[in-house]
């Protein structure tokens, strides 16, 4: 009887272990580092061109496995609860559709996925892992032990807020997604967070933005047409303008590949 109980316990342990995905997070920011950089970006004195709302942020490794989830508010209810999963979805998208020589932000995908666009239907191609997305307990959301950590979230998001992460050797190591404000403000906050983490050494081999110093920056070139809500984008990579302030910020934020990456927060 004792042997049978032990065997059942071992089988249970193996079943649990089989659901564990091992992430390569050693070269990516920790929860504390992500939260510090996200808070600094969200509270930027110049604003971000949005509503000044609190934010969620998620980092995934190159395999799309979640390494960290954080928020900027006092608690998990201080920012839109739905934006937790959206931030993870954005990180997954930027990672999934960026390459060592081609960085694509989620903002860059907006026009291409519209009806008639070259990537129409892309949003349906990689569904969100619903089991991972809503796994509890909820009080761990945004903490170092968020249930998303170590899971593949999946999902494709096609508005601003997701950026690929490149280290000082211009190696693609994963991506960051942020959500909680307007999509244009989300992009600006993600951009500043990535810069604050020293992971914006984006290769300039190919630039869809038309700005080689900001290869994956948001593009504001959509011209409205009668009868078409989204209008047409000259480059094919355009994103709607949420506010003039957000547009101005996007062209004036730090360039990619700063000469010296900023110091990361000290983690005890």
pLDDT per position as a tens digit, 14-67 = 433 434 455 689 999 999 999 999 999 999 888 999 999 999 999 999 999 999
Q: Answer whether 246's CB lies under 8 Å from 53's CB.
A: no
Splitting the chain (268 residues) into consecutive groups of 10 residues, what average pLDDT does each group show? 47 42 84 98 92 97 98 98 98 97 94 87 91 96 98 96 96 98 96 96 87 91 68 78 90 67 40
Domain membership of residue 3 (yes or no) is no
Domain membership of residue 268 (yes or no) is no
* Domain span holding position 149: 24-252
What predicted TM-score, i.e. pTM, was given to this entire model? 0.85
Task: Provide the CATH number for the domain around residue 32.
Answer: 3.30.450.150
**Residue 245 DSSP SS3:** helix
Which H or E run contains 40? helix 31-42
Average pLDDT, whole number, for the chain? 86
According to DSSP, residue 72 is labeled S
Q: Considering its fold, how many domains does the chain have in total?
A: 1
Name the nearest CA neighbour of 204 among 106, 103, 105, 107.
103
């Amino acid at each position: 009887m004792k042997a049978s109980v032990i065997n059942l316990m071992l089988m249970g342990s193996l079943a649990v272990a089989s659901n564990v995905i091992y992430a390569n997070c050693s070269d990516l920011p920790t929860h504390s580092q992500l939260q510090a950089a996200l808070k600094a970006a969200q509270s930027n004195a110049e604003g971000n061109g949005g509503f000044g709302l609190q934010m969620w942020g998620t980092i995934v490794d190159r395999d799309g496995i979640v390494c960290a989830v954080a928020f900027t508010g006092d608690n998990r209810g201080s920012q839109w609860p739905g934006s937790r999963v959206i931030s993870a979805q954005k990180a997954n998208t930027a990672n999934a559709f960026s390459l060592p020589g081609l960085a694509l932000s989620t903002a860059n995908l907006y026009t291409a996925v519209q009806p008639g666009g070259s990537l129409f239907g892309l949003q349906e191609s990689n569904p969100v892992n619903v089991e991972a997305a809503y796994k509890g307990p909820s009080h761990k959301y945004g903490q170092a032990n968020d249930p998303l950590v170590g899971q593949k979230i999946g999902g494709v998001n096609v508005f601003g807020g997701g950026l690929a992460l490149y280290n000082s050797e211009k190696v693609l190591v994963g991506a960051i997604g942020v959500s909680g404000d307007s999509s244009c403000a989300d992009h600006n906050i993600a951009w500043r967070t990535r810069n604050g983490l020293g992971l914006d050494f984006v290769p300039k081999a190919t630039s869809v933005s038309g700005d080689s110093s900001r290869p994956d920056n948001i593009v504001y070139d959509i011209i409205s047409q009668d009868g078409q809500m989204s209008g047409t984008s000259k480059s094919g990579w355009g994103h709607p303008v949420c506010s003039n302030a957000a547009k101005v910020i996007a062209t004036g934020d730090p360039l990619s590949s700063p000469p010296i990456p900023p110091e990361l927060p000290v983690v005890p």
